[in-house]
Amino acid sequence: MRGGGIWRVRPYVRPYRTQMLVMLASAAGALVAVSTVPLVTEAVINGPIVHHRGGLVPLAALALALGVGEGILLFVRRWILGRAATGVEADIRNDLYAKLQTLPVSFHERWQSGQLLSRATTDLTLIRIFVGYGLIYLVVNTMTFVYVVALLLHLDVRLGLVTVAAAVPIMITGARFRRDYHSASRRVQDQQGDLTTIIEEAALGIRVIKAFGRHAVEGARFASMARTLQSSSMVAVRLRARFFATLGLVPNLALAAIVLGGGWAVSDHVMTLGGLVAFVTLFLMLVWPVESLGEIMAIAQEASAAIERIWEVFDTPPDIADRPGAVDLDRCEGRLRFENVGFSYSEGGRRVLAGVDLEVAPGETVAIVGATASGKTTLLSLVSRLADVTDGRIAIDGHDIRDMTLASLRRHVAVAFEDPTLFSASVRENLTFGAPDATDAEIDAALDAAQARFAHHLPWGLDTRVGEQGLSLSGGQRQRLALARAILGRPRILVLDDPLSAVDVHTEAKVEAALARLLERTTALVVAHRPSTVALADRVAFLDGGRIVATGSHHELLSTVPGYRAVLAQDVEAPAGPPAWEATAV
């Protein structure tokens, strides 16, 4: 029953080794107890019944004791096992979550979140079922089979060989089932992931779906995906049904042969009546293990496909991690240098950035201006190492940021993205995301600077839970909370990607005044598209096609660089970013 690297769960099962051993011992005990009963029956029939000898009561008492013993052992087994199985599930889930945190942003861009979600839920459940039931019954049934067949051969060699022969067709169909069922269940699990993605997107994109009247189309898309999943599931069901039928049929055929052969043997006096009864009773003990073999093999293959899916995540190398010997930069002056930085999103892919040289002095604010898709967001994401440079290096106070620990890098560098994500948690929890020790006074100051005092007037103040992705807030409100979150930790280096694109002009002016005060002491890299935001900066770097083509003051660039003028002017006519209604909803 190897198949699909199912044994990769071994490290997770190992901590529960003792429980597993106790479990196996109690299973073996129960097996011995229950299979001794037919031997007692044999003694009862051949002794007190056929020959009218005494000793019925002690034999009956023994049978009773064996029954009670088996019951207790079964209880112990189930209880211990339940704990081990849920423990294994929890351990794998924690590791999976931790792994997801270490994987680069590019990984999450490549993977549908529904595929990750279904791995963290459905697939883990399948593994738990395997560890909790499948694995154990696999062992217990094998044990039962070997032990009982040995007893049967001992009772009567010829009838015992009939039993052994019956195992052959089962093994042949079993091997075929295992192969086919593995790929069938892999397909089902992948499609469950696709379906989860659709549900998730529909929930997150509900406003767009409604606004464009797309619910019928989306509903149809979902229904067709669901039908595909159903027909894949039916393939699995058919495979199971066929195999189960074989498993039901073979023992009955064998039983018929045994009753026939046994009948002749008893009438020819080569076998006692008690012996035949014991043989048949013992043989019947095999029926359930054989029939349940189908279920167990199905569980094992589902788990093996699940393990394959989960280990695809585990096997992804984390390409951004602390280097051995990375330094924890304690004090940071805030000097930021890009040295000949180049970047492409995929190996050998198009250069999104090339030859970027830029030095930002401590306390200086540099605005990055450039047309859409010129590489502004990409450049900023390199500073906090959401991705690593492909060429050149980025240095803080002269240290290559790849030689700093990620923890210290992210302590000194705070980021606010254009599309701010808020988590399903209170406003306070969202704000203190990067600065868990922030005091109320510090939170207030950050909210003031970001013009986000509205947070105090939410129904429960800062304890108000904001919905998933902060949907209950307007785009401008979310941006201002994200800005407050970024400045809360008082970072030495602040990286802002168009932080005010969804904020109305009036509020923007106020945020800018507050930011100007804040930025006096902070090194800042700010993507901007409005002249008023650009005016905050000491210097402007103009990015065009992934290269910095000019740096200077706003006025210098305005008079000497036609491209710069065009980008800013374009913006005055048609503001980029979310539609106007979202900005006015602030």
Ligand X SMILES: Nc1ncnc2c1ncn2[C@@H]1O[C@H](COP(=O)(O)OP(=O)(O)O)[C@@H](O)[C@H]1O
Among 56, 220, 373, 513, binds ligand X (CB under 6 A): 373
CA distance 544 to 506: 30
Q: How far is the CB of 24 from ligand X (least distance, A)?
A: 50
Q: Where are the alpha helices (DSSP H) in 45-55?
A: 50-51
Q: Among Mg ion, ligand X, none, what binds residue 115 when CB lies within 5 to 8 Å by partner kind?
A: none
Interface with ligand X, residue 232, by CB under 6 A: no
Least distance CB 529 / Mg ion (angstroms):
10
Of the ranges 252-260, 279-287, 371-379, 465-473, which one interacts with ligand X (CB under 6 A)?
371-379
157-204 helix and 215-267 helix, angle to the nearest 10 degrees: 170
| Contact residues: Mg ion, CB under 5 A | 377
State which residue, 377 or 474, has the beta carbon closest to ligand X. Answer: 377
Are 565 and 392 in contact by the 8 Å Cβ rule? The answer is no
Tokens of 127: 């593994």
Closest CA to 364 of 521, 169, 248: 521
Q: Is 340 left (phi over 0), alpha (psi -120 to 50) or beta?
A: left
> What's the CA angle centered on 476, arms 470 and 478, to 5 degrees?
25
Rounded to whole angstroms, how far apart are CA atoms 422 and 58? 73
Q: Which stretch binds ligand X (CB under 6 A): 331-339, 365-373, 395-403, 452-460?
A: 365-373
Could you say which of Mg ion, ligand X, none residue 352 binds, taking C-beta under 5 to 8 angstroms by partner kind?
Answer: ligand X
CB 192 within 8 A of CB 229: yes
Q: Report the candidate in 131, 136, 145 with the shortest Cα–Cα distance to residue 31.
A: 145
Q: Based on CB atoms, which residue is closest to ligand X, 258 or 527?
A: 527
- Binding ligand X (rule: CB under 6 A), the pick from 109, 268, 315, 437 is 109
Of 377 and 474, the one with the shorter C-beta distance to Mg ion is: 377
In this chain, which of 4, 38, 262, 375 binds ligand X, going by CB under 6 A?
A: 375
At closest approach, how far in Å is the CB of 373 from ligand X?
4
Report the nearest approach of ligand X to the CB of residue 291 (Å): 52
Enter the tokens of residue 584: 């006015």
Is residue 132 within 8 A of residue 87, CB to CB? The reply is no
Least CB distance from residue 418 to Mg ion, whole Å? 6
Q: Which residue is nearest to Mg ion (CB)?
A: 377
Cβ-contact 218, 197 below 8 angstroms: no
Q: Is 531 left (phi over 0), alpha (psi -120 to 50) or beta?
A: alpha
Nearer to Mg ion, 30 or 567 (CB): 567
CA distances from 223 to 121, 199, 207, 230, 325 (A): 22, 11, 20, 10, 53
- Which residue matches tokens 């740096």? 551
The piece of 44-52, 375-383, 409-417, 555-563 that touches ligand X (CB under 6 A) is 375-383
Gap between the Cα atoms of 313 and 564, Å rounded: 44
As measured in angstroms, the least distance from the Cβ of 232 to ligand X is 31
Closest CA to 489 of 454, 446, 550, 530: 446
Residue whose CB is less far from ligand X, 480 or 529: 529
Choice between 377 and 432, CB closer to Mg ion = 377
As measured in angstroms, the least distance from the Cβ of 351 to ligand X is 10
Residue 376 contacts ligand X per CB under 6 A = yes
**CB under 6 A: which stretch of 216-224, 286-294, 366-374, 516-524 binds ligand X?**
366-374
Query: CA-to-CA distance for 436 and 129, rounded, in angstroms?
Result: 38
Q: Angle at which helices 157-204 and 273-314 pack, to 10 degrees? A: 30
Q: Between β-strands 336-343 and 353-360, what pairing exists: parallel, antiparallel or unpaired?
A: antiparallel
Contacts with 210 (C-beta within 8 Å, 6 or more apart), sequence order: none
Q: Which of 289, 334, 370, 470 binds ligand X (CB under 6 A)?
A: 370
Residues 86, 94, 252, 372: which binds ligand X (CB under 6 A)? Answer: 372
What whole-number distance in Å separates Cα of residue 289 and Cα of residue 295?
Answer: 10
Q: Report the distance separating Cα 517 and Cα 536, nearest Å.
A: 10
Stretch that binds ligand X, among 122-130, 145-153, 284-292, 373-381 (CB under 6 A): 373-381
| AA identity, residue 248 | G
Instruction: Report the residue number, 100 or 387, with the smaller CB distance to ligand X.
Output: 387
* Contacted by 345, from ligand X, Mg ion, none: CB < 5 to 8 Å by type: ligand X
Stretch in the footprint of ligand X (CB under 6 A) among 62-70, 78-86, 374-382, 549-557: 374-382
Closer to Mg ion by CB, 105 or 321: give it. 105
Calpha distance 469→482 (Å, rounded): 11
Nearer of residues 66 and 534 to Mg ion, judged by Cβ: 534
- Closer Cβ to Mg ion, 144 or 377, answer by number: 377
Backbone angles phi, psi at 328, to 5 degrees: -95, 100
Nearer to Mg ion, 115 or 377 (CB): 377
Cβ at position 382, least distance to Mg ion in Å: 13
For position 385 contacting ligand X by CB under 6 A, the verdict is no
Strand partners, 56: none
Q: How far is the CB of 390 from Mg ion (least distance, A)?
A: 19
Count of beta carbons in the 10 Å neighbourhood of residue 203: 11
User: Using CB under 6 A, which of 73, 209, 303, 352 touches ligand X?
Assistant: 352
Among 192, 374, 432, 474, binds ligand X (CB under 6 A): 374
Contacts with ligand X by CB under 6 A lie at: 109, 345, 352, 370, 372-378
